[in-house]
Structure 1
Amino acid sequence: MDVERLRLLRELAERGTVHAAADAMSLTPSAVSQQLKILQREAGVTLLEPAGRRVRLTDAGRVLVSRTDEVLAALDRARADMDSYRSTPRGTVRVAMFPSGAAMLLAGLITRAAAAGVEVLGRDIDQPAANAPGQLADFDVVVVHRDERDVAQWGPRIEATLLLREPLEILLPPHHRLSTRKRVPLRELADEPWIGVEGGLMVDDVLRSLAAISGVNPRIVQRVNDFRVVEELVLAGVGVALLPRYVLSTRDLVRKPLSGVRIARRIEAVTRTGATSRPAVNAVIRILKTLAHETVEHNTRPQ
C-alpha cells in the first residue's frame, strides 16, 4: 500500500470530511476520493462507508489508520536516522593499509574514530598502490605509499589526500664500514648486496628510481616484503636495505640518510570521488591527517 494514500486516510479520519482532508493535503476532493478508492482496492476490504452526505471509516478502516500511525512514525524515525548520518560521523568505515602504514596509523585511527562515533574495520594488505582503485570495491578508504617520483594520476573517479612525505634511509648492520658516516653516498653502496621487495611495491620502485638517476644498479640478493624480516637479514649481514624513517626498528641497526639524492615515499589516503561527503569517511580522513602530522612532529622533535 502506498504511504501517501495511507496518509490521506489518516487525514480523513482526523478531519472528518473529504473536503477538509483535501484542503490539508493541497489536493482537490475528487483527487482524494480517487486515491482512497485505489487504497481500498489495495487493502482488499471496505475502508469507507456512506454516512449521510459524508463517508466514515469502517472498523477495518480504523484499524488501518492505527497501523498507519505506526508506519508514519517509523518512517519519521528512519528519516531522522538518515539525517543524522548525513550530518554527523556515524557508522562503519572499512580501511585498508599497507603493513608499515598500518603499524604507524591504524591503532590511533581505530581508537580516535571510536571516540567520534565511527567504527573502523582495518586490514593490512601489501599490494602495489596501483591496485587501490580495485580495492575500493571492498573498502571505503585505502591508504597507499608510492615513490615520491611517481606522478601517475588516479583519474576522475578517485580522490587522493596526501598524508605525509617520509624519507627513506639506508639500513646497515652495526659494524658496517659506512656505519660511522653522517650520510652515505650511493656510489659507495654500488658493490653491496641489497635486500629488496617484491616487484611493484614501493621500495622496488624507489630502487628503480635510484638506478635511473644515479646509474648505480642495486644488486638485489633477497626480496622480502616484511620490514621486520628485512631487519633480521641486515643484522645477519645478508645485505643492506632501504627503510622508511618513521618505521620503528626492533634491532640495533644503523640508519643513515643518503647523500646527493632525495628519496622518500608519499603516503596517501585514497577514496572514491565523493565518498568524503559521508561524514564518517570524512572523519576518518581528518583523523589520518592528524595522526600523520603528529608522526612527523614526533620524529622531528629535537632530542
Structure 2
Amino acid sequence: MSFLLEVRRLRLLAEFATRGTVAATAEALHLTGPAVSQQLAALEKESGVPLLEKRGRTLHLTSAGQLLVDHARVLLDNLAAAESDLAALRRGERGTVRIAAFPSAARTLIPLLWPDPYAAGHQAPTLHLVEHEPEAAEAALLRHRVDIAVTHSYSLLPRPLPPGCESRPLFDEPVFLVLHPADAAAHRLAPGEQADLARFADACWLLPSPDTACHDMTQRVCGAAGFVPRTVVSAGDFAVLAALAARRAGVALIPRLALPAPTPELRFHPLSTPVRRSVHALYRTGTGRHPDTRHVLDRLESAARTSTASEHAGLPQPPRPPASRPGG
C-alpha cells in the first residue's frame, strides 16, 4: 500500500477526531459516509489495534486511536511544513491566497493589502476575498475554502481557537457609544466623557443583526449595566446604525474599526467599563510557513498597524484596563 494513501488515512482519522462524527468528516473532506467508514476500518486493520469503539449509536476514539491521532497531527504538521519549505524554493511562482474577513475589516483593513510591492524578483500572490462573519469564516477555513480567516472576539465574549488552527493577533480596539450630541446632553453626558451605560437604560437602541457576535456583545454589555436594551433598529451594517444615530433614532455600540468619519451630528464616547474587540488572522496548523500565506499574514500585520495608527486618531481614548485584566 502506498505511503501517500496511508497519509490520507491518517489525515482522515485526525479529521474524524476534530469533527466527531463520520457524517461531519465526510462533509469536510467531500467524501461519502461509507467511504470514510471503509478508510477508517482499513486504517484500523493496518494498525492491528482497535482505533474506534461504539458507545450507543456513535463512534468514539479508543485510547489507541487518540494516541495515533496525536502522532498523526505531528506528522501532518511536519508534512505541511515540508511542503511550505519546498514552495519556498519556487518563490518566483505566483500563488493565490483566499481570505475571509468580517465586514468592517473587509472595508478598512483588507484594501490596504493592495497594491503589493513584493520583494525584488518575486511576484505577490493573487488575493481572493470573501466577506463572512467570524463563525462563517472559521467554517470556510476548516472546510479548506479559504486560507486565512480574519475574525474577531469581544473581551466579554471570547471565541475558542478552532481545532487544527493557529492564530496571529492583529490588534485590539475599543468599543464606543455612538449617539447624537442632543441625546448625549439629554443623558447628561459631556463631550469626551466616559459613558456609563446605566444612564441609557431608557434609550432607544440600535443593534446589529441578531445572527452576529456584535449583537450578542451589545446585549451582554447592556445586561452587565443592569437593563435589557429597547431595540428599535436591527441592521447588519454598522454604517446604518451610525447614520440612524445621527438622525436621533437611538444609540449604538460600535467598535473603532467600524466607526464613520466624525461629523457634528455624531459623538463617540469611550465606555466607563471598557469593552474591547480583538482581531485575529486564523490559518490551518502548519500552513503559516507557506511563503504566500506567510507573506499575506505579514502584510495583514503591517496593514493593522497602519489602520490603527491612522483611523480616528483624534478619538477620545478609553481607560486602560488594569494590568491584571486579560486582553479581550
Q: TM-score, normalised by structure 1?
A: 0.65
Deviation, structure 1 residue 84: 5.0
Provide the C-alpha distance between the structure 2 equivalents of 1:143 and 1:183, rounded to a whole number of angstroms: 30
- Which residue of structure 1 lines up, in the alignment, with residue 129 of structure 2? 122
Deviation, structure 1 residue 135: 1.1
1:195 matched to 2:202? The reply is no
- On the 8 A contact 2:172/2:276 being kept in 1, the answer is yes
Deviation, structure 1 residue 102: 1.1
- Which residue of structure 1 lines up, in the alignment, with residue 91 of structure 2? 88
1:135 matched to 2:140? The reply is yes
Q: Secondary structure at the match of 2:181?
A: coil
1:180 matched to 2:183? The reply is no
Cα 1:105/1:172, change in 2 over 3 Å: same
- Which residue of structure 1 lines up, in the alignment, with residue 285 of structure 2? 273
- Which residue of structure 1 lines up, in the alignment, with residue 45 of structure 2? none
Deviation, structure 1 residue 298: 2.6
Deviation, structure 1 residue 143: 0.7
- Which residue of structure 1 lines up, in the alignment, with residue 267 of structure 2? 254
- Which residue of structure 2 lines up, in the alignment, with residue 245 of structure 1? 256
Q: Describe how 1:274-293 pairs up with structure 2 within 5 A.
A: 274-293=286-305
Cα 1:300/1:233, change in 2 over 3 Å: closer
Q: TM-score, normalised by structure 2?
A: 0.60
Residues 110-135 of structure 1, C-alpha deviations (whole Å, 9 max, x = no match): 3237676121111223x2x2333311
Gaps of 5+ in 1: 1-81
Provide the C-alpha distance between the structure 2 equivalents of 1:241 and 1:301, rounded to a whole number of angstroms: 20
- Which residue of structure 1 lines up, in the alignment, with residue 177 of structure 2? 170
Provide the C-alpha distance between the structure 2 equivalents of 1:102 and 1:204, rounded to a whole number of angstroms: 19
- Which residue of structure 2 lines up, in the alignment, with residue 8 of structure 1? none
- Which residue of structure 2 lines up, in the alignment, with residue 99 of structure 1? 103
Cα 1:231/1:213, change in 2 over 3 Å: closer
Q: Secondary structure at the match of 1:281?
A: helix
Greater Cα offset, 275-284 or 239-248: 239-248
Q: 1:211 aligns with which of 197, 215, 222?
A: 222
Q: Secondary structure at the match of 2:109?
A: helix
Provide the C-alpha distance between the structure 2 equivalents of 1:108 and 1:271, rounded to a whole number of angstroms: 20
Cα 1:246/1:155, change in 2 over 3 Å: closer
Greater Cα offset, 130-139 or 227-236: 130-139
Residues 247-296 of structure 1, C-alpha deviations (whole Å, 9 max, x = no match): 3415621111111x111211111111112121101111111111112222
- On the 8 A contact 2:178/2:269 being kept in 1, the answer is yes
Q: Name the larger-Rg structure.
A: 1
- Which residue of structure 1 lines up, in the alignment, with residue 47 of structure 2? none
Provide the C-alpha distance between the structure 1 equivalents of 2:117 and 2:252, rounded to a whole number of angstroms: 35
Deviation, structure 1 residue 194: 0.5
Amino acid of the residue matched to residue 243 of structure 1?
I
Provide the C-alpha distance between the structure 1 equivalents of 2:312 and 2:259, rounded to a whole number of angstroms: 14
Q: Secondary structure at the match of 1:246?
A: helix
1:295 matched to 2:298? The reply is no
Q: 2:168 aligns with which of 161, 172, 177?
A: 161
Provide the C-alpha distance between the structure 1 equivalents of 2:262 and 2:274, rounded to a whole number of angstroms: 25
- On the 8 A contact 1:144/1:268 being kept in 2, the answer is yes
Deviation, structure 1 residue 85: 4.6
Deviation, structure 1 residue 228: 1.6
- On the 8 A contact 2:98/2:127 being kept in 1, the answer is yes
What percent identity do the matched residue pairs reach?
A: 26
Greater Cα offset, 177-186 or 156-165: 177-186
Cα 1:299/1:251, change in 2 over 3 Å: closer
Provide the C-alpha distance between the structure 1 equivalents of 2:104 and 2:312, rounded to a whole number of angstroms: 19
Provide the C-alpha distance between the structure 2 equivalents of 1:110 and 1:222, rounded to a whole number of angstroms: 35
